[in-house]
Structure 1
Amino acid sequence: MGYIAVAMMNYKMFPLYRIEKAFLKNKETALRRISSINGITGTVLIQTCNRVEIFLETEIRDLSDVIKAWEELSGDRKLSQDVEIAWEEEAIRHLFRLAAGLESMAIGENEILHQIKEAYILSSKLSLLSRDLRSIFDEALKVGKRVRSSTSLGKKRISIAEMAVEVAERILGGLQDRVIMVIGAGETGSAVIENINMRNKRNLRIMIANRTYDRAVQLANSFGGIALKLDDVDRFLPVVDVVFVTTSAPHYIITKERASKLEGRSTLIFDLSMPRNVDPEASRIKGIKVITIDDLREYLDEEASKKLEDIKRAEDFVEKSLENFLEKRRRSWAEEIISNFCRMVEEARKEELMEAIRILGCDEETAKVMDRMSKAMIKRIVGCLVDNLRRNLSSIDRATIELILSDYTKKEKSRRLG
């Protein structure tokens, strides 16, 4: 059982324009590359619109090679000075809180639980999910589900898509009689359209543009609206009041040049993409107001303040779950250490016994007596140490114990070779 760590960059540490530079464009390539680093035995990548977090099981405490690989894969050469690393208990606590929705911008959102599960499945599919990481992620997913079923945090959740629609309504005094364009027909785009329809029952004019036209048609048929090809965006953009950009393109969908066609017209543009798909320069054009995920934080913080009791209950539940899980994990680690220790002791006993029998030239009966005697001595001495280890798990430093055993193993190998 190695050490658990998480190397991370998220919205609590940096604005989203900084995080998007650290984005890993090909998840499978990134997972395989990082997992190939010496000492890394398991890898899971959680990458969402406001975080990039790499969970690891590692036999080493130095993750500089992991950060270096991340820099090369993302092209972000400043990662080493910005990435935060949490180890063991803090790393596991972070994952449990993440699954519970407590680390999300929209507290209690369900999307993060789905994203964690997808990350888990991908690592498992690529055979990069170590036994310990599998156990930790299994428990995190259970914690996330229990929090949502035992508190009303999930029931009162508000997603990024829902908040964006609400903010648009606040600014415009409602979306009735407005012309709306949604660019991107994925999960976020679908959620935006669904929320617009739920909150506004009349005079909705929604255009849905997507790289895959059939998907745009499918959404238009489901929710009502006009399906567009991406090439049609320029033609219809000048008549739009609100634009929601929800794509995951590696380039700007709303460029400064495209946005300039809206100059002088009052237009709201929501950039809900990661990386950003609206050129920041678009906000300099007269009449255009660009609202990013970062800008939504103040609204989300306001929403979170209404859920303080639910948040406290969820946090208490997470801490209790973490305490129980860590106790089981400590016992599992201790039994593994005890097993390895007893195996080494038994090997040493047999070696010394055989050497003593050879030197003394013992007959079979005497050899049996010596065997029983050596076993009894080992049981009396080692049994005491093992019982003490089991009783004092919480106060024992794992790293020290492993260092002692490692040192002993090296000396034994050296002795045999010598």
Structure 2
Amino acid sequence: MGYIAVAMMNYKMFPLYRIEKAFLKNKETALRRISSINGITGTVLIQTCNRVEIFLETEIRDLSDVIKAWEELSGDRKLSQDVEIAWEEEAIRHLFRLAAGLESMAIGENEILHQIKEAYILSSKLSLLSRDLRSIFDEALKVGKRVRSSTSLGKKRISIAEMAVEVAERILGGLQDRVIMVIGAGETGSAVIENINMRNKRNLRIMIANRTYDRAVQLANSFGGIALKLDDVDRFLPVVDVVFVTTSAPHYIITKERASKLEGRSTLIFDLSMPRNVDPEASRIKGIKVITIDDLREYLDEEASKKLEDIKRAEDFVEKSLENFLEKRRRSWAEEIISNFCRMVEEARKEELMEAIRILGCDEETAKVMDRMSKAMIKRIVGCLVDNLRRNLSSIDRATIELILSDYTKKEKSPETRISQ
């Protein structure tokens, strides 16, 4: 069992334009590359619209090779200056809070639980999920579900998609009689359309553009709207009041050139993509207001302030769950270390016994007596040590246990411990 760590960059540390530079474009390639580094025994990558976090099980405490690989894969040469690393209890606490929705920009949202599960499944599929990481992620997913079922946090959740729709309504005084375009028919795009329909029951005019036209048609049929091919966006953009851009394209969908066709017309553009799909220069064009995920934070913080009691209950639940899990985990790795220690002690006992019998030329009966005597001595000496370690697990960390037992398991004999004739 190695050490658990997380190397991360997220919206709490940096604005999104900084995080997008650290994005790993091909998750499978990144996972395989990082997992191939000497000492890394397990890897899970959680990458969302506002975070890149790599959870690791490692036999070494130096993650410089991991950061170097991340830099090369993302092309972000300043990554080593900005990435934050948490170890063991803090890394596991972060994952539990993440699963509970407490680290989300939209506190309590459900999407993060789905994203963690997807990351877990991908690592498992690639055989990159170590036994310890599997156990930790299994527990994190359970904690996330229990927080939502046992507190009001999940019942009052608000997603980034829902917040974007609400902000659009605040700015425009409602979306009735407005012409709306949603670019991207994935999870976020679908959530935007669903929220628009839930909040506005009449006079809705929605256009849905997507790279895969059939998916746009499917959404248009489900919610009522017009399906467009991406090539049709330029033709209809000049009549649109609100645009929600929700694709995962690696380039700008709304370029400055495309946005310039809207000059002088009052148009609201929401960029809910990561990396950003709207050229920041578009906001300089007269009449255009661009709102990014970063801009939504003040609205989301306002929502979070209404949930303080729910957040406190969820945090207490997470801490209690973490405490119970860490106690089980501590006992698990302690028993593993103690078991290995006892096995090595027994091997040493047998080795010394056989050497003593050979030197003394003992008969069978004497050999049996010596065997019983050596077992009794080991039990009295080692048994006391092991019992004390088990009783004091809560106050002794793993490194200390390994250090205490290391002297007992040295394979090389000193001259003083050799049996000589």
TM-score by length of 2: 0.97
Q: Distance in 1 between matches of 2:396 and 2:253?
A: 55
Could you tell me how far 1:412 is from its partner in structure 2?
Answer: 2.8
Q: Distance in 2 between matches of 1:27 and 1:406?
A: 39
SS in 2 for 1:320: helix
SS in 1 for 2:55: strand
Q: Against the structure 1 CA distance between its residues 30 and 410, is the aligned structure 2 distance closer, same or farther, given a 3 Å change threshold?
A: farther
Q: Distance in 2 between matches of 1:413 and 1:58?
A: 30
Q: Against the structure 1 CA distance between its residues 388 and 209, is the aligned structure 2 distance closer, same or farther, given a 3 Å change threshold?
A: same
Specify the alignment match of 2:370 in structure 1.
Answer: 370
Tell whether the 8 Å contact from 2:253 to 2:277 is kept in structure 1 after alignment. Answer: yes
Q: Against the structure 1 CA distance between its residues 370 and 252, is the aligned structure 2 distance closer, same or farther, given a 3 Å change threshold?
A: same
Q: Distance in 2 between matches of 1:380 and 1:405?
A: 16
Q: Distance in 1 between matches of 2:272 and 2:86?
A: 28
Q: Distance in 1 between matches of 2:217 and 2:76?
A: 38
Q: Distance in 1 between matches of 2:350 and 2:341?
A: 14
Could you tell me how far 1:399 is from its partner in structure 2?
Answer: 1.2
Could you give the per-residue CA deviations for residues 296-340 of structure 1, whole angstroms, max 9, x where no partner exists? Answer: 000000000110110000000000000000000010011001101
Tell whether the 8 Å contact from 2:345 to 2:409 is kept in structure 1 after alignment. Answer: no
Tell whether the 8 Å contact from 2:213 to 2:228 is kept in structure 1 after alignment. Answer: yes
Q: Distance in 2 between matches of 1:125 and 1:405?
A: 37
Could you tell me how far 1:396 is from its partner in structure 2?
Answer: 1.2
Q: Distance in 2 between matches of 1:101 and 1:137?
A: 15
Could you give the per-residue CA deviations for residues 146-169 of structure 1, whole angstroms, max 9, x where no partner exists? Answer: 000000100100000000000000
Tell whether the 8 Å contact from 2:107 to 2:158 is kept in structure 1 after alignment. Answer: yes
Q: Distance in 2 between matches of 1:32 and 1:392?
A: 39
Tell whether the 8 Å contact from 2:41 to 2:58 is kept in structure 1 after alignment. Answer: yes
Could you give the per-residue CA deviations for residues 361-417 of structure 1, whole angstroms, max 9, x where no partner exists? Answer: 000110000000000000011110010000000111311332455566565399999
Tell whether the 8 Å contact from 2:341 to 2:409 is kept in structure 1 after alignment. Answer: no
Q: Against the structure 1 CA distance between its residues 278 and 406, is the aligned structure 2 distance closer, same or farther, given a 3 Å change threshold?
A: farther
Could you give the per-residue CA deviations for residues 337-365 of structure 1, whole angstroms, max 9, x where no partner exists? Answer: 11011011111111110110010000011
Q: Distance in 1 between matches of 2:224 and 2:76?
A: 42
Deviating 4+ runs (over 6 angstroms): 413-418
| 1:46 equivalenced with 2:49 (yes/no) | no
| 1:165 equivalenced with 2:159 (yes/no) | no
Larger mean CA deviation between 397-406 and 343-352 belongs to 397-406
Specify the alignment match of 2:419 in structure 1.
Answer: 416
Tell whether the 8 Å contact from 2:356 to 2:419 is kept in structure 1 after alignment. Answer: no
Specify the alignment match of 2:392 in structure 1.
Answer: 392
Could you give the per-residue CA deviations for residues 34-67 of structure 1, whole angstroms, max 9, x where no partner exists? Answer: 0000000000000000000000000000000000
SS in 2 for 1:295: helix
Q: Distance in 2 between matches of 1:286 and 1:417?
A: 94
User: After the TM superposition, which residues 9-408 of structure 1 pair with which residues of structure 2 at under 5 Å, given as runs?
Assistant: 9-403=9-403, 405=405
Could you tell me how far 1:219 is from its partner in structure 2?
Answer: 0.4
Q: Against the structure 1 CA distance between its residues 407 and 382, is the aligned structure 2 distance closer, same or farther, given a 3 Å change threshold?
A: closer
Q: Distance in 2 between matches of 1:251 and 1:337?
A: 50
Q: Distance in 2 between matches of 1:44 and 1:410?
A: 35
SS in 2 for 1:76: coil
Tell whether the 8 Å contact from 2:182 to 2:189 is kept in structure 1 after alignment. Answer: yes
Aligned length, in residue pairs = 418
Q: Against the structure 1 CA distance between its residues 273 and 416, is the aligned structure 2 distance closer, same or farther, given a 3 Å change threshold?
A: farther
Q: Against the structure 1 CA distance between its residues 416 and 147, is the aligned structure 2 distance closer, same or farther, given a 3 Å change threshold?
A: farther
Could you give the per-residue CA deviations for residues 88-123 of structure 1, whole angstroms, max 9, x where no partner exists? Answer: 000000000000000000000000000000111111
Q: Against the structure 1 CA distance between its residues 255 and 410, is the aligned structure 2 distance closer, same or farther, given a 3 Å change threshold?
A: farther
Could you give the per-residue CA deviations for residues 175-220 of structure 1, whole angstroms, max 9, x where no partner exists? Answer: 0010000000000000000000110111111000000000000000
Identify unmatched segments of 5+ residues in structure 2.
none
SS in 2 for 1:412: coil
Q: Distance in 2 between matches of 1:192 and 1:416?
A: 78
Q: CA RMSD in A?
A: 1.9
Identify unmatched segments of 5+ residues in structure 1.
none
Q: Distance in 1 between matches of 2:292 and 2:106?
A: 14
Q: Against the structure 1 CA distance between its residues 406 and 387, is the aligned structure 2 distance closer, same or farther, given a 3 Å change threshold?
A: closer
Q: Distance in 2 between matches of 1:73 and 1:22?
A: 9
Q: Distance in 1 between matches of 2:110 and 2:155?
A: 10
TM-score by length of 1: 0.98
Q: Distance in 2 between matches of 1:218 and 1:110?
A: 24
Paired-residue identity, %: 99
Q: Against the structure 1 CA distance between its residues 29 and 409, is the aligned structure 2 distance closer, same or farther, given a 3 Å change threshold?
A: farther
